[in-house]
Structure 1
Amino acid sequence: MEESDPPFEEVYKNLFDNQEKLNINTTEISNDVEEWDLPMIDLSRLNQGERESDDCKREIAEASQKWGFFQVINHGVSYDIIEKMRCEQIKVFKKTFYDKANNRLDVKFPAGSYRWGTPSATSLKQLAWSEAFHVPLTDISNMGGLTSLSITMDQFATTVSDLAETLAEILAEQLGHKSDFFKDNCLPSTCYLRMNRYPPCPKFSQVFGLMQHTDSDFLTILHQDQVGGLQLVKDGKWISVKPNNDALIINIGDLFQAWSNDVYKSVEHRVVANKHTERFSTAYFFCPSYDTMIQSCVENSVYKRFSFREFRQQVQDDVKKLGYKVGLPRFIL
């Protein structure tokens, strides 16, 4: 029977060999970091009278300033849809690697959707021991007719889109900035859904499931399973995020940090590899069109005005040249 896992060790053999030749310490990646609960916000409070709603909005803004991450319950995305999404993506990831890589699946994913490893990696610490389907929302309906997967993806994306817009508007409002900016610029044609799988990793002490990075969008909404592995920087140290099946994880992206003039924080995070257990997650990226201009919504901006296209291009150039993303520091005035 053909393997479903990508051939990481075979394709990246040189990186593993180089690490051994150079006698680099291979035990630096550790799961042994403190596990914390992210701030938990019950969004049903938004409908429980003005005082409760105001308190809830303040907590959302506060978590975005102090953590850059928080989790929400009673978020409007039904448990049934989340569970169906998980089951459907497990089914598609179980297909053979050959079928995934050559798009020989029941569902026709857009060209270039399937990604695995890190083609630009020049060292093991840059290698991602993971695979993903990264799909623009508008392409979901064109994936070879109505299949169980495409219907579920569409249901998930629709409800999560509404949640993202609600949270973005709350965060803007808390800065004293009421406008239709997000409604006008972050459309289904500009946002993405990403299904992730992190296979069991025999080299778990040498590589990450996903290397440390910040997200290049306004907001990311994530559902992760119970395996865990997501870590983020808090007060200068790495902490591990305790899984919560009822919650969705929200994190601030680079664009919101720039737009808020550093009030809200886009925080570095990563996924550690697991020796024995595969991990699944689903991420929604709340992005504007490439032509959208990003500038501070307050005076005395930290960053120069830039388009999302310029930002993405700079990120791609840096990854190609350096092997990693630099991000917002490239745009400081």
Structure 2
Amino acid sequence: MSNTDSYPPEFRPLMSESIESEKKTVERDLNRSKDIQIPVIDLEHLDMEKLREACKDWGIFHLENTGIPLTLVSQVKEITESLLSLPFEVKRLLGVNSPLSYYWGTHTVSPSGNTVERAPRKSSGHLVVMEEYGRHVTRIVVTLFEAITETLSLELSVDQKTSYLSESTGVVRVQRYPRCNEFPGLEAHTDSLEISIINQDEVGGLEFMKDGEWFNVTPLANSFVIGLGDMIQVLSDEKYKSVLHKVRKMMKKKERYSIIYFVYPDKDCMFESSRYKPFRFSEFEAQAKLDVETHGSKIGLSRFLNIP
């Protein structure tokens, strides 16, 4: 079986590109995003002031010394790459009698312009959930969330913490990007949650916006990328901002893999802020879904601004 057989049929023509096409793409991409060093936070020796500055000025940072065994991370990568190399017709059935599910296309549309397909239809959109890895990343998210709320001097009850960060919603999603130059790896967006934990491979490709410019997130060995989401922006009353990020089109002769952990608030979790009208997380999700269906992308927090 060729590697292209593991991709959806609509992707395969995009992976057969001429050298001339690649050269032209390289020339168009000369003004690509700038390189920059984002903050590095040590989870084992957490510096609260450094964390505050990273959240306030960047919204994105590397996290090292997380306590996740390197052997476990390697196993996760091996398993996910093995699963994703399965024939497309096999993967599309995942989720029927399996804890796994599979989706293809981007978060909003496929290369053909059609709405993203998921298998099965009732799939939550996650690809791989592994219990041990999930326990570790859950621990990291809880530790970071509590530290971030401490930097904001927010006094939250146990029930509030549980509602804002519902561990039952945690999913591990593995994303694979083919080597092709015809479409962006992932369009610019913010995440509709508090914190995302991203394990990007050595290929790189993750970019974020700061002060109106796009910058590259250079891979850092044995670390994770932490991105703040929309709900942290609300909780902080915009002291901290949700990071706008994307994945650029791949230029190298290698696929890109990204393992991301998402954990969402409870559906009924209420968010209040002087900058935004009170809303339940379910309302935010419903509006984001409607915007994607209507406009092709999420509009997000601007829908809930508390305009005087």
What TM-score comes out, normalization by structure 2 length? 0.84
Matches of 1:194 and 1:118 in 2, distance apart? 13
**CA positional deviation for 1:248:** 0.8
Note if contact 2:163-2:266 (Cα within 8 Å) is conserved in structure 1: no
Q: Deviations over 1:147-171 (max 9, x none)?
A: xxxxxx1111101101101111111
Corresponding residue number in structure 2 for 1:8: 10
Corresponding residue number in structure 2 for 1:35: 35
Unmatched runs of 5 consecutive residues or more in structure 1: 13-24, 47-55, 141-152
- The reply on whether 1:57 has 2:34 as its aligned counterpart is no
Matches of 1:305 and 1:120 in 2, distance apart? 27
- The reply on whether 1:76 has 2:52 as its aligned counterpart is no
**CA positional deviation for 1:30:** 6.2
Corresponding residue number in structure 2 for 1:310: 283
Note if contact 1:220-1:251 (Cα within 8 Å) is conserved in structure 2: yes
Unmatched runs of 5 consecutive residues or more in structure 2: 15-24
Corresponding residue number in structure 1 for 2:295: 322
**CA positional deviation for 1:33:** 2.0
Matches of 2:39 and 2:296 in 1, distance apart? 33
> Residues 126 and 332 of structure 1: is their aligned pair in 2 closer, same or farther, counting only changes over 3 Å?
farther
> Residues 62 and 38 of structure 1: is their aligned pair in 2 closer, same or farther, counting only changes over 3 Å?
same
**CA positional deviation for 1:32:** 2.6
Note if contact 2:40-2:63 (Cα within 8 Å) is conserved in structure 1: yes
SS of equivalent residue, structure 2 residue 167: coil
- The reply on whether 1:108 has 2:98 as its aligned counterpart is yes
Corresponding residue number in structure 1 for 2:20: none
Note if contact 2:174-2:260 (Cα within 8 Å) is conserved in structure 1: yes
**CA positional deviation for 1:176:** 1.0
Q: Deviations over 1:66-113 (max 9, x none)?
A: 1110111111222111111111100100000111112289x8135xx3
- The reply on whether 1:295 has 2:272 as its aligned counterpart is yes
**CA positional deviation for 1:263:** 0.9
Among 207, 225, 237, the residue aligned to 1:261: 237
Code of the residue aligned with 1:80 in structure 2: it is T
Alignment root-mean-square deviation, CA: 3.0
SS of equivalent residue, structure 1 residue 83: helix
Matches of 1:224 and 1:73 in 2, distance apart? 13
Matches of 1:126 and 1:211 in 2, distance apart? 15
Q: Deviations over 1:304-327 (max 9, x none)?
A: 111110001100000000001100
Matches of 1:104 and 1:184 in 2, distance apart? 27
Question: What percentage of residue pairs aligned between the two structures are identical?
Answer: 33
Corresponding residue number in structure 2 for 1:20: none
Matches of 2:95 and 2:171 in 1, distance apart? 22
Corresponding residue number in structure 1 for 2:109: 121
Corresponding residue number in structure 1 for 2:260: 283
Matches of 2:173 and 2:31 in 1, distance apart? 24
What TM-score comes out, normalization by structure 1 length? 0.78
Corresponding residue number in structure 2 for 1:220: 196
